[in-house]
Chains A and B, each alone.
Chain A
Amino acid sequence: MRNPTSGVVVEGTLRADSSVAMSIDPQGMAHIMGVLTNLYSDAPLAVLREYSTNARDAHQAAGIDRPIEVSLPTALDPTLRVRDFGVGLSEQDILGVYARYGSSTKRGSDEQVGAFGLGSKSAFTLAQQFLVTSVHDGRCTTVLFALGADGIGSVSVLHRGEAQEPSGVQIEIGVPQPHLVRATAARFFGTWPAGSVLVDGATPVSVRDGAVLTCEGLVLADPQSEVTAEGWNLVMGGVGYPLPRALLLRAVRDKDAPEARAALGTHGFRSVYATVPIGAVDITPSREGLRDTARTVRAVRSVLDALPDLLATQVQAELDAAGTATQAAWLLAGYQRALDKHLLPTARLTYRGAPIGAPVTVPLTTMTLTARRGSRGGRELRVDDNLLVSTANMRDVLVVTDTPKGAARNHPARRYLTQNSDGTQWVVFTADSAATFDWFAYGPGSPVKTVPYPMFRHQIDEYSTGTTRRATVYRTLAPQDGEPVERPVPWLREQPPPVVLTPQFFGSQVARQVFHDRPMVLLTDRQSLAGLIRRVPGAKDGERLLCDGARHLLRNLSDYQRETLTASVIVDRFEQTARNIDRVFGRRAQQVPGMRRLLADYQRAQRICLDRARDRTLLISAHHTAGTPLPPLRPEHQRQLDDLLDRAPLLTALLRAGQLTDDELDAALAYLTTALPNAA
Chain B
Amino acid sequence: MITWQLTSTATGQALAVAFPNGSVVTVPGTHPTFDPLIRHLRTTIDPDPQRVRDLLNVGATTADELRQLSTRVTYTGGLIHFDGQALDNALTRHLVRLIRAGDRSYGRFVAFLENLADNPSGRSRRQLFTWLSERDMTITPDGQFIAYKGVRDDPGNTSIHSGRASVDGGEHHGHIPNRVGSVITMPRNQVSDDKHMGCTTGLHVGTWDYANSFGQRTLIVSVNPRDVVSVPKDCEFQKLRCCRYIVLDVIRSPLDTPSYDAA
Contact = CB atoms under 8 A, between A and B. Distances in A.
Interface of A: 71-79, 127-131, 133, 140, 142, 144, 146-147, 156, 158-159, 161, 172-177, 179, 200-201, 503-504, 507-509, 568-569, 572-573, 575-576, 579, 583, 617, 620-621, 623-624, 627-630, 648, 652, 655-656
A160 to B, nearest CB: 8
A142 B22 contact: yes
B246 interface: yes
A78 B28 contact: yes
Given A161-B22, A617-B187, A617-B189, A78 B168 contact: no
Contacts of A159: 18, 22-24
B190 A76 contact: no
A175 B78 CA distance: 13
A509 B78 contact: no
The 6 A-B pairs at the shortest CB distance, nearest first, are namely: A76-B59, A77-B78, A74-B78, A174-B28, A128-B7, A128-B14
B245 to A, nearest CB: 12
Contacts of B59: 74, 76-77
Nearest to A183: B89
A146 B14 contact: yes
Contacts of B14: 127-129, 146, 174
Given A128-B7, A159-B22, A576-B183, A621 B189 contact: yes
A79 B14 CA distance: 11
A173 B27 CA distance: 7
Interface string B58-92: 11001000000000000001111000000001001
B216 interface: no
Nearest to B192: A503
Given A129-B16, A131-B24, A201-B77, A74 B92 contact: yes
Contacts of B45: none
Contacts, number: 162
Given A128-B9, A579-B142, A617-B189, A630 B170 contact: yes
A71 B77 contact: yes
Given A142-B22, A142-B24, A176-B30, A504 B201 contact: yes
Interface in B9-60: 9, 12-16, 18, 22-32, 57-59
Contact of A146 (B7, B62, B80): B7
Nearest to B75: A76
A576 to B, nearest CB: 7
A140 B185 CA distance: 64
Contacts of B263: 652, 656
B195 interface: no
Instruction: Identify the interface centre among A75, A79, A130, A652: most chain B CB within 10 Å of its CB.
Output: A75
B257 interface: no
B188 interface: yes
Given A71-B77, A176-B12, A624-B187, A76 B171 contact: no
Contacts of B30: 78, 176-177
A373 B85 CA distance: 57
Given A128-B12, A129-B14, A144 B26 contact: yes
A624 B24 contact: no
Contacts of B12: 127-128, 176
Interface string B218-257: 0000000000000000000000000000100000000000
A630 B167 CA distance: 10
Q: Is the interface of B mostly helix, strand, loop or mixed?
A: mixed
Given A74-B77, A76-B92, A504-B190, A131 B26 contact: yes
30 contacts: A74-B77, A76-B80, A76-B92, A77-B78, A78-B28, A79-B25, A127-B26, A128-B7, A128-B14, A129-B16, A144-B5, A146-B14, A146-B16, A158-B24, A159-B18, A159-B23, A159-B24, A174-B14, A179-B89, A503-B200, A508-B189, A509-B189, A572-B169, A575-B183, A620-B166, A623-B171, A624-B166, A629-B170, A655-B261, A655-B262
Contacts of B173: 627
B26 A176 contact: no
Contacts of A130: 26
B104 to A, nearest CB: 14
Contact of B171 (A156, A507, A617, A630): A630
A74 B166 contact: no
Contacts of A158: 16, 18, 22, 24
Instruction: Identify the interface centre among B23, B24, B186, B192: most chain A CB within 10 Å of its CB.
Output: B24
Contacts of A175: 28
Contacts of A177: 30
Instruction: Identify the interface centre among B28, B59, B93: most chain A CB within 10 Å of its CB.
Output: B28
B186 to A, nearest CB: 7
B95 interface: yes
Contacts of B213: none
A201 B78 CA distance: 12
Contact of B93 (A71, A75, A127, A131): A75
A572 B28 contact: no
Contacts of A133: 24
Contacts of A572: 166, 168-169, 183, 185
Nearest to A623: B171
A507 B28 CA distance: 54
A569 B171 CA distance: 11
Given A142-B22, A146-B14, A573-B168, A76 B262 contact: no
Nearest to B197: A503
B175 to A, nearest CB: 16
Contacts of B28: 78, 127, 174-176
Nearest to B194: A503
Given A146-B16, A617-B188, A648-B181, 16 more contacts: A75-B95, A76-B80, A76-B92, A79-B25, A79-B26, A128-B13, A128-B14, A129-B16, A140-B22, A156-B5, A158-B24, A159-B18, A200-B77, A507-B189, A652-B263, A655-B261
Contact of A627 (B25, B29, B171, B246): B171
B146 interface: no
A133 B69 CA distance: 38
Given A128-B13, A576-B183, A630 B169 contact: yes
B22 A624 contact: no
Instruction: Identify the interface centre among B8, B15, B26: most chain A CB within 10 Å of its CB.
Output: B26
B137 interface: no
Given A128-B9, A158-B18, A624 B171 contact: yes
Contacts of A147: 7, 9
B190 A621 contact: yes
Contacts of B16: 129, 131, 144, 146, 158
Contacts of A140: 22
A179 B87 CA distance: 13
A431 B228 CA distance: 58
B152 interface: no
B141 interface: yes
B4 to A, nearest CB: 10
A129 B262 CA distance: 45
Contacts of A142: 22-24
B172 to A, nearest CB: 9
A655 B141 contact: yes
A78 B142 CA distance: 30
B186 A76 contact: no
Contacts of A576: 142, 183, 246
Nearest to A173: B26
Contact of A624 (B9, B168, B190, B262): B190
A408 to B, nearest CB: 46
A77 B28 CA distance: 10
A573 B27 contact: no
A617 B190 CA distance: 11
Nearest to A131: B26
Given A75-B93, A142-B24, A652-B263, A629 B171 contact: yes
A655 B186 CA distance: 29
